[in-house]
Amino acid sequence: MLSYRHAFHAGNHADVLKHLILIQIAEYMGEKPAPFWIIDTHAGAGRYALESAHASKLGEYRDGVGRLWEAKGLPPAAQNYLDFVKMLNPDGQLRHYPGSPWLASQLLRESDRLRLYELHSTDLKLLQECFKTAGRQVTVNASDGFVGLKAILPPPPRRALVLIDPSYETKSDYSNVVKGLQEALKRFATGTYALWYPMLSKLESRQLPGKLKGLGATNWLHATLEVCAPSKDGFGMNGSGMFIINPPWTLEKKLHETLPQLAKLLAQGDGAKYTLESQSA
């Protein structure tokens, strides 16, 4: 039974990190004339109403995108991210938050394609509604994203960004992302893969970065953003990470410029910090 709904967490600090990086990668890919695909393995609803019962129950967006909403002097990459969020809120009030599918769709050119996968029946309907007029450029698939990758890779244009961000509600999610990436790299070694993960006290979460580094990719970038120290009781998510395989060469510099200020703006207590490490051939 699928129970996870991203609507409870839309716009939180983890979304800020994930979506800022998604935008940077997709914009870079769009600078070259050749077409590219964006493939989202766990797409969610597409966009979220922050005043809905789900989003307002926890109100996590207030300590995420809400902290940036009126901030001045943001680094360019953070301002760029915020400008996309403001596109969905033209009246100047933060009422809606774009999920990765909506953001990805805004970054496509006519020749580019977006392939979305979602299994939760409620989110699937919302996702289909979000893109009902998108035509052939956007395909919404009611299937497991890891299974979908096996069928879709390599994509016809041989250029693609694959975003992987499951809920990590079960232990199998951790092994599935490692196995899924391993198989994807065999099919499409030159693709750009952006994997998000939560920073939790559980062993699977703490071991995941090492397993990702062990996949054998020669070019990778690993960014983390913690908004507080881990809780003493071991519960809750104190930060998140993005592991990018074959990142744009420009991304590391952009994150060096951006993460220090994000760590300050999004801090929820002692222990707020960021890390950035990379390997290149």
Catalytic residues: 165
Query: What values do phi and psi take at 234, rounded to 5?
Result: 85, 5
Query: What string of DSSP letters covers 135-187?
Result: GGGEEEE-S-HHHHHHHHPSPTTS-EEEEE-----SHHHHHHHHHHHHHHHHH
**What residue type is assigned to position 38 of the chain?**
I
Gap between the Cα atoms of 148 and 244, Å rounded: 20
Question: 30: how many CB neighbours lie within 10 A of its CB?
Answer: 14
Gap between the Cα atoms of 73 and 54, Å rounded: 31
Query: What values do phi and psi take at 196, rounded to 5?
Result: -100, 145
Gap between the Cα atoms of 54 and 187, Å rounded: 38
Question: 61: how many CB neighbours lie within 10 A of its CB?
Answer: 24
Q: Token pair for residue 243?
A: 């592991």
Helical (H) or strand (E) element with 243:
strand 239-245
DSSP bridge partners of 192: 161
- Distances in Å between the alpha carbon of 249 and those of 20, 25, 166, 220, 244? 16, 10, 26, 10, 11
DSSP structure class, residue 30: T
